[in-house]
Amino acid sequence: MTLTSPVRVALIGTGHIAVEHAAALHSLTPHIEVCAATDINPEILADFCAAQAIPKAYPDAAELLRVEQPDVVLISTPPFTHAALAAQAMAAGADVLCEKPMVVSLAQLDAIQAAEARTGRTTTSISQWRYGSAASHVKRLIDSGELGDPLIALCNTLWYRPPTYYTSVPWRSRWSTEGGGVALGLGIHAMDLTLWLLGEWEEVSALAATKDRDVEVETIAMAQVTFRSGAVASFVNSAVSPRQNSYIRLDFQNATIEVDHLYQYRNEHWRFSVPDQPGLQAKLAEWQHIDGTAPGSLETQWRIFLADLRAGRQPLTHTSRVRSTYDFLASMYKSALTRQPVRRLSVQPGDPFYEAMNGALELSR
Ligand SMILES: NC(=O)c1ccc[n+]([C@@H]2O[C@H](COP(=O)([O-])OP(=O)(O)OC[C@H]3O[C@@H](n4cnc5c(N)ncnc54)[C@H](O)[C@@H]3O)[C@@H](O)[C@H]2O)c1
Protein backbone atom coordinates (compact mmCIF):
# COMPACT_ATOMS: atom_id res chain seq x y z
CA MET A 1 0.00 0.00 0.00
CA THR A 2 1.40 3.42 -0.95
CA LEU A 3 -0.01 6.70 0.32
CA THR A 4 -2.06 7.14 -2.85
CA SER A 5 -3.01 3.60 -3.90
CA PRO A 6 -6.34 2.23 -2.67
CA VAL A 7 -6.26 0.15 0.49
CA ARG A 8 -7.04 -3.45 -0.50
CA VAL A 9 -9.64 -4.91 1.84
CA ALA A 10 -10.80 -8.55 2.04
CA LEU A 11 -13.80 -9.83 4.01
CA ILE A 12 -13.94 -13.02 6.06
CA GLY A 13 -17.59 -13.80 6.77
CA THR A 14 -20.26 -12.55 4.39
CA GLY A 15 -23.46 -12.75 6.48
CA HIS A 16 -25.81 -10.01 7.71
CA ILE A 17 -23.39 -7.38 9.02
CA ALA A 18 -21.02 -7.85 6.06
CA VAL A 19 -23.75 -6.37 3.84
CA GLU A 20 -23.67 -3.17 5.91
CA HIS A 21 -19.87 -3.10 5.79
CA ALA A 22 -19.98 -3.53 2.02
CA ALA A 23 -22.20 -0.44 1.73
CA ALA A 24 -19.77 1.54 3.91
CA LEU A 25 -16.79 0.30 1.88
CA HIS A 26 -18.42 1.18 -1.45
CA SER A 27 -18.93 4.73 -0.19
CA LEU A 28 -15.16 4.96 0.35
CA THR A 29 -14.24 4.13 -3.26
CA PRO A 30 -11.65 4.94 -4.68
CA HIS A 31 -9.73 5.06 -1.38
CA ILE A 32 -10.66 1.44 -0.70
CA GLU A 33 -10.80 -1.51 -3.07
CA VAL A 34 -12.64 -4.61 -1.85
CA CYS A 35 -10.57 -7.31 -3.54
CA ALA A 36 -12.04 -10.59 -2.25
CA ALA A 37 -14.23 -12.39 0.27
CA THR A 38 -14.58 -15.79 1.87
CA ASP A 39 -17.24 -17.61 3.89
CA ILE A 40 -17.59 -21.23 4.96
CA ASN A 41 -21.08 -21.22 3.43
CA PRO A 42 -20.57 -21.28 -0.39
CA GLU A 43 -24.13 -20.14 -1.19
CA ILE A 44 -23.99 -17.13 1.14
CA LEU A 45 -20.57 -16.28 -0.30
CA ALA A 46 -21.67 -16.53 -3.94
CA ASP A 47 -24.81 -14.43 -3.35
CA PHE A 48 -22.84 -11.80 -1.42
CA CYS A 49 -20.07 -11.47 -4.02
CA ALA A 50 -22.61 -11.21 -6.86
CA ALA A 51 -24.73 -8.60 -5.03
CA GLN A 52 -21.73 -6.53 -3.91
CA ALA A 53 -19.69 -6.88 -7.14
CA ILE A 54 -16.73 -8.39 -5.32
CA PRO A 55 -14.32 -9.79 -7.91
CA LYS A 56 -12.93 -12.88 -6.14
CA ALA A 57 -14.51 -15.46 -3.85
CA TYR A 58 -12.35 -17.98 -2.00
CA PRO A 59 -13.44 -21.22 -0.32
CA ASP A 60 -11.29 -20.53 2.75
CA ALA A 61 -9.42 -17.78 4.55
CA ALA A 62 -5.98 -19.37 4.14
CA GLU A 63 -6.16 -19.36 0.36
CA LEU A 64 -7.58 -15.85 0.24
CA LEU A 65 -4.78 -14.52 2.43
CA ARG A 66 -2.05 -16.37 0.50
CA VAL A 67 -3.21 -15.29 -2.96
CA GLU A 68 -4.55 -11.78 -2.32
CA GLN A 69 -2.27 -10.52 0.46
CA PRO A 70 -4.77 -7.81 1.40
CA ASP A 71 -3.74 -4.70 3.35
CA VAL A 72 -6.75 -4.99 5.65
CA VAL A 73 -9.03 -7.88 6.58
CA LEU A 74 -12.52 -7.37 7.99
CA ILE A 75 -13.60 -10.26 10.21
CA SER A 76 -17.39 -10.48 10.34
CA THR A 77 -17.85 -14.09 11.40
CA PRO A 78 -19.43 -15.44 14.63
CA PRO A 79 -17.74 -14.29 17.86
CA PHE A 80 -16.00 -17.58 18.80
CA THR A 81 -14.03 -17.56 15.52
CA HIS A 82 -12.64 -14.00 15.76
CA ALA A 83 -9.40 -14.50 17.69
CA ALA A 84 -8.00 -17.33 15.55
CA LEU A 85 -8.94 -15.58 12.30
CA ALA A 86 -7.39 -12.30 13.47
CA ALA A 87 -4.12 -14.09 14.30
CA GLN A 88 -4.18 -15.86 10.91
CA ALA A 89 -4.79 -12.62 8.99
CA MET A 90 -2.05 -10.75 10.88
CA ALA A 91 0.39 -13.63 10.24
CA ALA A 92 -0.35 -13.13 6.53
CA GLY A 93 0.64 -9.45 6.83
CA ALA A 94 -2.77 -7.77 7.10
CA ASP A 95 -4.10 -5.30 9.63
CA VAL A 96 -7.43 -6.46 11.00
CA LEU A 97 -10.74 -4.80 11.73
CA CYS A 98 -12.79 -7.26 13.76
CA GLU A 99 -16.50 -7.19 14.53
CA LYS A 100 -17.69 -6.95 18.12
CA PRO A 101 -17.42 -8.78 20.37
CA MET A 102 -13.80 -8.90 19.27
CA VAL A 103 -13.21 -11.85 21.62
CA VAL A 104 -15.25 -14.11 23.86
CA SER A 105 -12.65 -14.21 26.66
CA LEU A 106 -9.67 -12.33 28.05
CA ALA A 107 -7.57 -15.38 27.08
CA GLN A 108 -8.47 -14.73 23.44
CA LEU A 109 -7.64 -11.03 23.80
CA ASP A 110 -4.20 -11.97 25.11
CA ALA A 111 -3.78 -14.35 22.15
CA ILE A 112 -4.57 -11.53 19.70
CA GLN A 113 -2.16 -9.18 21.46
CA ALA A 114 0.56 -11.86 21.37
CA ALA A 115 -0.07 -12.24 17.62
CA GLU A 116 0.21 -8.45 17.21
CA ALA A 117 3.60 -8.52 18.95
CA ARG A 118 4.76 -11.45 16.76
CA THR A 119 3.63 -10.03 13.44
CA GLY A 120 3.91 -6.26 13.90
CA ARG A 121 0.32 -5.93 12.56
CA THR A 122 -2.71 -4.60 14.46
CA THR A 123 -6.25 -5.62 15.30
CA THR A 124 -8.92 -3.00 15.86
CA SER A 125 -12.42 -3.63 17.20
CA ILE A 126 -15.49 -2.47 15.37
CA SER A 127 -17.06 -0.23 18.02
CA GLN A 128 -18.76 2.34 15.85
CA TRP A 129 -20.44 4.27 18.68
CA ARG A 130 -17.07 5.63 19.82
CA TYR A 131 -16.55 7.30 16.45
CA GLY A 132 -19.51 9.64 15.84
CA SER A 133 -18.83 13.38 15.94
CA ALA A 134 -20.97 13.81 19.05
CA ALA A 135 -19.09 11.15 21.02
CA SER A 136 -15.71 12.70 20.12
CA HIS A 137 -17.09 16.09 21.11
CA VAL A 138 -18.34 14.81 24.46
CA LYS A 139 -15.04 13.03 25.15
CA ARG A 140 -13.13 16.28 24.56
CA LEU A 141 -15.58 18.21 26.75
CA ILE A 142 -15.21 15.71 29.60
CA ASP A 143 -11.42 15.66 29.33
CA SER A 144 -11.29 19.49 29.32
CA GLY A 145 -12.69 19.46 32.88
CA GLU A 146 -15.23 22.20 32.11
CA LEU A 147 -18.16 19.97 33.00
CA GLY A 148 -16.77 19.41 36.49
CA ASP A 149 -16.46 15.96 38.07
CA PRO A 150 -18.61 13.08 36.80
CA LEU A 151 -21.07 12.07 39.52
CA ILE A 152 -23.60 9.52 38.32
CA ALA A 153 -24.45 7.78 35.05
CA LEU A 154 -27.11 5.58 33.47
CA CYS A 155 -26.43 3.29 30.53
CA ASN A 156 -29.43 1.37 29.20
CA THR A 157 -29.65 -1.02 26.26
CA LEU A 158 -33.30 -2.05 26.22
CA TRP A 159 -33.76 -4.00 23.01
CA TYR A 160 -36.13 -6.68 21.78
CA ARG A 161 -34.95 -9.91 20.18
CA PRO A 162 -37.71 -12.40 19.31
CA PRO A 163 -37.11 -16.14 19.72
CA THR A 164 -36.25 -16.41 16.00
CA TYR A 165 -33.25 -14.11 16.55
CA TYR A 166 -31.60 -16.94 18.46
CA THR A 167 -32.49 -19.70 15.98
CA SER A 168 -31.94 -17.87 12.66
CA VAL A 169 -28.14 -18.41 12.70
CA PRO A 170 -26.31 -21.46 14.10
CA TRP A 171 -24.08 -19.62 16.57
CA ARG A 172 -26.34 -17.49 18.79
CA SER A 173 -27.75 -18.53 22.17
CA ARG A 174 -24.81 -20.68 23.34
CA TRP A 175 -21.84 -19.71 25.52
CA SER A 176 -19.42 -21.72 23.35
CA THR A 177 -20.22 -19.88 20.10
CA GLU A 178 -21.81 -16.50 20.98
CA GLY A 179 -19.62 -16.10 24.06
CA GLY A 180 -22.31 -14.36 26.10
CA GLY A 181 -25.80 -12.96 25.77
CA VAL A 182 -27.25 -9.46 25.87
CA ALA A 183 -24.27 -7.87 27.68
CA LEU A 184 -21.55 -9.15 25.34
CA GLY A 185 -23.64 -9.13 22.16
CA LEU A 186 -25.89 -6.04 22.41
CA GLY A 187 -25.15 -3.89 25.47
CA ILE A 188 -21.47 -3.86 24.53
CA HIS A 189 -22.03 -0.82 22.27
CA ALA A 190 -23.43 1.48 24.97
CA MET A 191 -21.32 0.07 27.80
CA ASP A 192 -18.11 0.46 25.76
CA LEU A 193 -19.03 4.07 24.95
CA THR A 194 -19.87 4.86 28.59
CA LEU A 195 -16.70 3.20 29.91
CA TRP A 196 -14.57 5.08 27.38
CA LEU A 197 -16.21 8.42 28.24
CA LEU A 198 -16.01 8.03 32.02
CA GLY A 199 -12.48 6.60 32.24
CA GLU A 200 -11.10 3.92 34.50
CA TRP A 201 -13.75 1.75 36.17
CA GLU A 202 -12.96 0.22 39.55
CA GLU A 203 -15.52 -2.34 40.75
CA VAL A 204 -18.66 -4.00 39.41
CA SER A 205 -21.58 -5.77 41.11
CA ALA A 206 -23.86 -7.47 38.62
CA LEU A 207 -26.71 -9.84 38.06
CA ALA A 208 -27.78 -11.71 34.93
CA ALA A 209 -30.55 -14.14 34.07
CA THR A 210 -32.27 -15.82 31.16
CA LYS A 211 -35.83 -14.47 30.97
CA ASP A 212 -38.49 -15.42 28.46
CA ARG A 213 -36.23 -17.11 25.86
CA ASP A 214 -35.19 -20.76 25.62
CA VAL A 215 -31.44 -20.04 25.38
CA GLU A 216 -28.28 -20.75 27.40
CA VAL A 217 -27.01 -17.16 27.54
CA GLU A 218 -28.47 -14.26 29.54
CA THR A 219 -31.28 -12.09 28.16
CA ILE A 220 -31.06 -9.53 30.98
CA ALA A 221 -27.93 -8.23 32.71
CA MET A 222 -27.56 -5.34 35.16
CA ALA A 223 -24.55 -3.82 36.87
CA GLN A 224 -23.60 -1.20 39.42
CA VAL A 225 -20.19 0.23 38.60
CA THR A 226 -17.80 2.49 40.48
CA PHE A 227 -15.14 4.58 38.74
CA ARG A 228 -11.75 5.84 39.82
CA SER A 229 -13.08 9.41 39.51
CA GLY A 230 -15.61 8.60 42.24
CA ALA A 231 -18.52 8.46 39.80
CA VAL A 232 -21.08 5.64 40.03
CA ALA A 233 -23.12 4.13 37.20
CA SER A 234 -26.01 1.79 36.58
CA PHE A 235 -25.92 -0.40 33.45
CA VAL A 236 -29.12 -2.16 32.34
CA ASN A 237 -29.19 -4.55 29.38
CA SER A 238 -32.22 -6.40 28.06
CA ALA A 239 -33.06 -8.39 24.93
CA VAL A 240 -36.72 -8.77 25.95
CA SER A 241 -37.99 -5.15 26.10
CA PRO A 242 -40.80 -4.54 23.58
CA ARG A 243 -40.31 -0.74 23.44
CA GLN A 244 -36.69 -0.49 22.47
CA ASN A 245 -34.21 2.29 23.16
CA SER A 246 -30.55 2.94 23.89
CA TYR A 247 -30.01 5.64 26.50
CA ILE A 248 -26.95 7.04 28.21
CA ARG A 249 -27.11 9.84 30.77
CA LEU A 250 -23.99 11.35 32.34
CA ASP A 251 -24.40 13.83 35.20
CA PHE A 252 -21.43 16.10 35.91
CA GLN A 253 -21.22 18.90 38.49
CA ASN A 254 -22.04 21.51 35.82
CA ALA A 255 -24.02 19.69 33.13
CA THR A 256 -26.08 16.66 32.14
CA ILE A 257 -25.30 14.95 28.85
CA GLU A 258 -27.77 12.46 27.34
CA VAL A 259 -28.07 10.41 24.17
CA ASP A 260 -31.34 8.67 23.35
CA HIS A 261 -31.54 6.61 20.15
CA LEU A 262 -31.69 2.99 19.04
CA TYR A 263 -28.89 1.59 16.84
CA GLN A 264 -27.10 4.61 15.35
CA TYR A 265 -26.99 8.08 16.86
CA ARG A 266 -26.66 11.37 15.03
CA ASN A 267 -25.87 14.72 16.65
CA GLU A 268 -29.55 15.52 17.21
CA HIS A 269 -29.94 12.47 19.47
CA TRP A 270 -27.66 14.15 22.05
CA ARG A 271 -28.80 16.71 24.60
CA PHE A 272 -26.72 19.02 26.76
CA SER A 273 -28.35 20.59 29.83
CA VAL A 274 -26.52 23.31 31.71
CA PRO A 275 -29.05 24.87 34.07
CA ASP A 276 -26.99 27.54 35.81
CA GLN A 277 -24.19 28.54 33.46
CA PRO A 278 -25.18 30.48 30.32
CA GLY A 279 -21.50 30.85 29.32
CA LEU A 280 -20.94 27.10 29.31
CA GLN A 281 -24.28 26.53 27.55
CA ALA A 282 -23.20 28.80 24.68
CA LYS A 283 -19.84 27.09 24.46
CA LEU A 284 -21.41 23.62 24.24
CA ALA A 285 -23.58 24.75 21.34
CA GLU A 286 -20.60 26.28 19.55
CA TRP A 287 -18.40 23.20 19.98
CA GLN A 288 -21.20 20.97 18.73
CA HIS A 289 -21.28 22.96 15.54
CA ILE A 290 -17.53 22.78 15.02
CA ASP A 291 -17.23 19.05 15.61
CA GLY A 292 -19.02 17.81 12.48
CA THR A 293 -22.06 15.68 11.88
CA ALA A 294 -20.76 12.12 11.43
CA PRO A 295 -23.15 9.52 12.93
CA GLY A 296 -21.90 6.67 15.12
CA SER A 297 -21.87 4.34 12.11
CA LEU A 298 -19.74 1.69 10.43
CA GLU A 299 -18.99 4.15 7.61
CA THR A 300 -17.69 6.74 10.09
CA GLN A 301 -15.44 4.14 11.72
CA TRP A 302 -14.08 2.94 8.35
CA ARG A 303 -13.38 6.55 7.29
CA ILE A 304 -11.43 7.28 10.49
CA PHE A 305 -9.71 3.87 10.38
CA LEU A 306 -8.47 4.61 6.87
CA ALA A 307 -7.10 8.01 7.90
CA ASP A 308 -5.37 6.41 10.93
CA LEU A 309 -3.88 3.66 8.76
CA ARG A 310 -2.43 6.15 6.28
CA ALA A 311 -1.09 8.37 9.09
CA GLY A 312 0.34 5.43 11.08
CA ARG A 313 -1.85 6.38 14.08
CA GLN A 314 -3.14 3.85 16.58
CA PRO A 315 -6.92 3.52 16.13
CA LEU A 316 -9.18 4.53 19.00
CA THR A 317 -10.45 0.95 19.35
CA HIS A 318 -7.17 -0.89 18.87
CA THR A 319 -6.91 -3.99 21.13
CA SER A 320 -4.98 -2.04 23.76
CA ARG A 321 -7.71 0.62 23.90
CA VAL A 322 -10.66 -1.77 24.29
CA ARG A 323 -8.98 -4.07 26.79
CA SER A 324 -10.62 -2.25 29.71
CA THR A 325 -14.06 -2.95 28.20
CA TYR A 326 -13.34 -6.69 27.91
CA ASP A 327 -11.88 -6.74 31.43
CA PHE A 328 -15.13 -5.07 32.52
CA LEU A 329 -17.27 -7.62 30.66
CA ALA A 330 -15.38 -10.61 32.11
CA SER A 331 -15.71 -9.03 35.57
CA MET A 332 -19.40 -8.24 35.09
CA TYR A 333 -20.14 -11.87 34.15
CA LYS A 334 -18.00 -13.13 37.02
CA SER A 335 -19.88 -10.91 39.45
CA ALA A 336 -23.26 -12.01 38.09
CA LEU A 337 -22.43 -15.71 38.22
CA THR A 338 -20.62 -15.69 41.58
CA ARG A 339 -22.80 -12.99 43.20
CA GLN A 340 -19.72 -11.12 44.45
CA PRO A 341 -18.35 -7.67 43.55
CA VAL A 342 -15.35 -7.90 41.19
CA ARG A 343 -12.52 -5.36 40.88
CA ARG A 344 -10.80 -4.31 37.65
CA LEU A 345 -7.84 -6.40 36.49
CA SER A 346 -8.68 -9.16 38.98
CA VAL A 347 -9.68 -11.72 36.31
CA GLN A 348 -6.31 -13.23 35.43
CA PRO A 349 -4.96 -16.49 33.92
CA GLY A 350 -5.98 -19.43 36.09
CA ASP A 351 -9.44 -17.91 36.77
CA PRO A 352 -12.22 -19.77 34.89
CA PHE A 353 -13.68 -16.36 33.96
CA TYR A 354 -10.43 -15.59 32.09
CA GLU A 355 -11.17 -18.53 29.77
CA ALA A 356 -14.91 -17.95 29.23
CA MET A 357 -17.36 -15.20 30.15
CA ASN A 358 -19.53 -17.64 32.12
CA GLY A 359 -16.56 -19.28 33.87
CA ALA A 360 -18.16 -22.62 32.86
CA LEU A 361 -21.07 -21.97 35.29
CA GLU A 362 -24.82 -22.12 34.57
CA LEU A 363 -27.08 -19.06 34.77
CA SER A 364 -30.24 -18.88 36.82
CA ARG A 365 -33.58 -18.51 35.00
N1 LIG B 1 -21.25 -3.71 14.75
C2 LIG B 1 -22.54 -4.03 14.75
O3 LIG B 1 -23.40 -3.17 14.93
C4 LIG B 1 -22.95 -5.46 14.53
C5 LIG B 1 -24.27 -5.75 14.17
C6 LIG B 1 -24.60 -7.09 13.94
C7 LIG B 1 -23.66 -8.10 14.11
N8 LIG B 1 -22.40 -7.77 14.50
C9 LIG B 1 -21.39 -8.82 14.73
O10 LIG B 1 -20.92 -9.31 13.47
C11 LIG B 1 -20.58 -10.70 13.59
C12 LIG B 1 -21.36 -11.47 12.54
O13 LIG B 1 -22.75 -11.28 12.76
P14 LIG B 1 -23.82 -11.53 11.58
O15 LIG B 1 -25.11 -11.04 12.12
O16 LIG B 1 -23.32 -11.00 10.31
O17 LIG B 1 -23.82 -13.14 11.56
P18 LIG B 1 -24.17 -14.08 10.33
O19 LIG B 1 -24.37 -15.44 10.89
O20 LIG B 1 -25.27 -13.47 9.50
O21 LIG B 1 -22.85 -14.04 9.44
C22 LIG B 1 -21.65 -14.70 9.81
C23 LIG B 1 -21.07 -15.38 8.57
O24 LIG B 1 -19.80 -15.92 8.90
C25 LIG B 1 -19.67 -17.18 8.24
N26 LIG B 1 -18.64 -17.96 8.93
C27 LIG B 1 -18.74 -18.66 10.10
N28 LIG B 1 -17.53 -19.16 10.45
C29 LIG B 1 -16.65 -18.78 9.47
C30 LIG B 1 -15.27 -18.99 9.27
N31 LIG B 1 -14.53 -19.69 10.15
N32 LIG B 1 -14.70 -18.48 8.15
C33 LIG B 1 -15.44 -17.78 7.25
N34 LIG B 1 -16.76 -17.54 7.40
C35 LIG B 1 -17.36 -18.02 8.51
C36 LIG B 1 -21.07 -17.79 8.29
O37 LIG B 1 -21.23 -18.80 7.29
C38 LIG B 1 -21.94 -16.55 8.05
O39 LIG B 1 -22.24 -16.35 6.69
C40 LIG B 1 -20.90 -11.10 15.03
O41 LIG B 1 -19.74 -11.02 15.81
C42 LIG B 1 -21.90 -10.04 15.46
O43 LIG B 1 -21.90 -9.80 16.86
C44 LIG B 1 -22.04 -6.49 14.69
48-79 per-position pLDDT tens digit: 999 999 999 999 999 999 999 999 999 999 99
Q: Say yes or no: CB of residue 76 within 6 Å of ligand 1.
A: yes
Where residue 289 falls among pLDDT bands split at 50, 70, 90? low
CA–CA distances in Å: residue 83 to residues 75, 201, 259, 270:
10, 25, 32, 34
Per-residue pLDDT averaged across 329-350, rounded? 98
Query: Ligand 1 mean position to 277 CA, how many Å?
Result: 47
Q: pLDDT at position 363, please?
A: 81
- pLDDT tens across 200-242, in order? 999 999 999 999 999 999 999 999 999 999 999 999 999 999 9
Confidence of residue 276 (pLDDT cuts 50, 70, 90): confident
> What percentage of the chain exceeds 70 in pLDDT?
97
Q: What is the mean pLDDT of the chain?
A: 96
Query: CB count, 10 Å around CB of 212?
Result: 12
Q: Does 288 have pLDDT greater than 90?
A: no
Res 160: pLDDT: 98
- Best of 12, 21, 39, 325 to mutate for ligand 1, by most ligand atoms within 8 A of CB? 39
Q: Give, using CA atoms, the residue closest to atom 28 of ligand 1.
A: 77
Q: Which domains does the chain have, with CATH numbers?
A: 7-126 (3.40.50.720), 149-252+324-343 (3.30.360.10)
pLDDT at 365 over 90: no
Average pLDDT over residues 161-172: 98
Distance 178 CA to ligand 1 centre (A): 10
Residue of 99, 126, 167, 186 with the most ligand 1 atoms within 8 Å of its CB, for mutation: 99
Share of the chain above pLDDT 90, in %: 91
Question: Whose Cα sits closest to atom 21 in ligand 1?
Answer: 15
Of residues 65 and 5, more confidence is placed in 65
Nearest CA to ligand 1 atom 39: 15
Model confidence at 12: pLDDT above 90: yes
Ligand 1 proximity of 179 Cβ (cutoff 6 Å): no
How much is the pLDDT for 362? 82
The CB of 106 under 6 Å from ligand 1? The reply is: no
Least confident range of 63-72, 186-195, 280-289 = 280-289
* Average pLDDT score over residue span 104-113: 98
Confidence of residue 256 (pLDDT cuts 50, 70, 90): very high
More confident residue, 18 or 141: 18
103 C-alpha to ligand 1 centroid (Å) = 13
Residue 160 Cα to ligand 1 middle (Å): 19
* pLDDT on residue 169: 97
Supply the pLDDT for residue 290. Answer: 64
User: pLDDT at residue 3 above 80?
Assistant: no
The larger pLDDT score, comparing residue 34 to residue 283, is at: 34
14 lines ligand 1 (CB under 6 A): yes
CB of residue 299 inside a 6 A radius of ligand 1: no
